[in-house]
Structure 1
Amino acid sequence: MNFNYKELRLIPNVLSIFRLVLVIPIVYFILNGIEEHRNIILVLLFVMYVTDISDGFIARKFNMVSETGKIIDPIADKIAVAAIFISLFIYDMIPVWFFCIVIFRDILILIFGYFVGKKKDIIMISNFMGKITVFGIGLVILLTILKMELLTPYIRFLYYIVTILIVYSSILYFFRYKKTIGEH
Structure 2
Amino acid sequence: MNVPNALTLTRFILIGLYPFLYFNEGLSHNKLWAFAVFLIAGLTDVLDGVIARRFGLVTKWGKLMDPLADKLMLITVLVCLFLDGVVSLWVIIIIALKELLMILGAAFLYKNRKVVVQANFYGKLATFLFYIAITALVFRVPYSGYILGIAVLSTILALIQYAALNFKRKSD
Structure 1: tracts of 5 or more residues without a match? 1-8
- Given residue 73 of structure 2, which amino acid in structure 1 is its aligned partner? A
Structure 1 residue matching 2:116: 3-state secondary structure: coil
Give the corresponding residue for 1:174. Answer: 163
CA distance in 1, matches of 2:152, 2:61: 30
Question: How far off is 1:160 after superposition?
Answer: 2.4
Give the corresponding residue for 2:98. Answer: 105
| Contact 2:134–2:148 under 8 Å retained in 1 | no
Structure 2: tracts of 5 or more residues without a match? none
Give the corresponding residue for 1:75. Answer: 68
Give the corresponding residue for 1:6. Answer: none
Instruction: Report the identity percentage.
Output: 23
Which residues in structure 2 correspond to 1:109-120 (within 5 Å)?
109-120=102-113
Is 1:49 the equivalent of 2:38?
no
| Contact 1:113–1:123 under 8 Å retained in 2 | yes
Q: Given the alignment, which residue of 30, 34, 44 partners 1:37?
A: 30
> Cα deviation per residue 1:34-74 (whole Å; 9 max; x = unaligned)?
98312212221221111110000000111101111101101
Is 1:137 the equivalent of 2:137?
no
Structure 2 residue matching 1:169: 3-state secondary structure: helix
RMSD, aligned CA: 1.7
Give the corresponding residue for 1:5. Answer: none
| Contact 2:11–2:41 under 8 Å retained in 1 | yes
- Given residue 57 of structure 1, which amino acid in structure 2 is its aligned partner? V
| Contact 1:85–1:99 under 8 Å retained in 2 | yes
CA distance in 1, matches of 2:40, 2:102: 25
CA distance in 2, matches of 1:177, 1:28: 38
Which residues in structure 2 correspond to 1:144-163 (within 5 Å)?
144-147=137-140, 151-153=141-143, 155-163=144-152
* Structure having greater relative contact order (Cα 8 Å, sep ≥ 6): 1
